[in-house]
Amino acid sequence: MKRGVILALLLCAPPAFAVQPDEMLSDPALEARARAISQNLRCPVCQGEDIDDSNAPISRDLRLAVRERLQAGDSDAQVVDYVVARYGEFVLFQPRAEGANLILWLAGPLMLLAGGAIALAMSRRRAAAPEADKLSEADQTRLAELLKK
């Protein structure tokens, strides 16, 4: 019973963010915008975590920079552009579909289409030559002799 209660409490616990209380903004609307932006920015050190969840010192600096830019009156896009200008597009979890990144965005659908075209061509080729799979009379006789032994 006790284990079940503990397990239920752990499952219902909110995620632990690395954002420290001294980093939070007093304006709830600005803080919500800062959180939304931070969750889409990758930690340059951790690489698999967003800066909102990372405890790395650089993530703290980035969180503070995001909040400073928001307090200065920048829009969300301007804040993201500021971070990208300093750290490159690597910090974006969803890179922009422009320039060299366009190749990466289009590669998946193009490979899917190419695979579908190859599969269609192979199935049509196989349907067009059904006689190639049949055994000749000599082969059938030889097979029957081998199976009798």
Give me the pLDDT at residue 13, please: 45
Q: Into how many domains does the chain fold?
A: 2
pTM of the model: 0.56
Give me the pLDDT at residue 124, please: 86
What does the H/E/C string look like for the chain? CHHHHHHHHHHHCCCCCCCCCCCCCCCHHHHHHHHHHHCCEECCCCCCCECCCCCCHHHHHHHHHHHHHHHCCCCHHHHHHHHHHHHCHHHECCCCCCCCHHHHHHHHHHHHHHHHHHHHHHHHHHHHCHHHHCCCHHHHHHHHHHHHC
Give me the pLDDT at residue 5, please: 62
Give me the pLDDT at residue 129, please: 66
132 and 73 part of one domain:
no
Instruction: Look up the domain containing 130 and give its range.
Output: 101-148
Residue 111 covered by a domain? yes
Residue 119 covered by a domain? yes
Give me the pLDDT at residue 119, please: 93
Residue ranges of the chain with pLDDT lower than 50?
13-16
Give me the pLDDT at residue 7, please: 55
54 and 115 part of one domain:
no
Give me the pLDDT at residue 51, please: 85
72 and 117 part of one domain:
no
